[in-house]
Amino acid sequence: MPTADACKLRHTQKNINEMELCRLAQLYFRYGAMNSGKSIEILKVAHNYEEQNKSVLIFTSAVDDRDEIGYVSSRIGLRREAIPIDPSTDIFGTVQSQAGRISCVLVDEVQFLNKEQILQLARIVDELNIPVMGFGLKNDFQNELFEGSKYMLLYADKIEEMKTICWFCERKATMNLRVDEQGRPVYTGEQIQIGGNDTYYPVCRKCHANPKL
């Protein structure tokens, strides 16, 4: 029959194990301006998990159709299939159905998610003990927060900036400059307009106000 000390030790060890599990599962937000390497970072993280025989689920917004809907694509040519997210997608339900087999959830273009979907990411961490990493822009071309990035900033456990340099100078890029077909800066219009280097430049605050175009 186990002694009182042995039972106490097992109870203590159980609490420590549960604490370790909770520490491992966190909601991460990695944001950066255009061209800061967010998509390639997702592909790298996925590779690192799978190299250790650990499974990941990759999601991406269906809004971004520059390459093809349902793919995470990097500027250097690497791409990978992902689960597309539209406003009605039940992210929590999708992950819950595979919870016993998933080690991490990765979300590209997280800025395009709505508040309810960001709360679902938090639930995946808190209720399923699966870490979630969201990658995306923080601010739009008018320097307003996207809905998804706003709530990631509020709910994420860890927030990390992915850095790149300004297109026009050597300062750190913190903003995204939109240009029209003639290459002129645009400061008004719809928040979401999908585009690449032909439409947006990563810029510093000074060059956003006075770009060298």
Residue 196 CB neighbours (<10 A): 11
Q: Which of 41, 50, 109, 181 is catalytic?
A: 109
Burial zone of 81 (CB within 10 Å; 0-12 exposed, 13-18 middle, 19+ buried): exposed
Find the length of the chain. 213
Catalytic, 144? Answer no
Which of 149, 211, 136 is CA-nearest to residue 180? 211
Contact in structure between 147 and 113 (CB atoms under 8 Å)? yes
- Tell me the C-alpha to C-alpha distance, in Å, between residue 15 and each of 11, 103, 141: 6, 21, 47
Distance, CA of 22 to CA of 15 (rounded, Å) = 11
Q: Which residues are catalytic?
A: 109
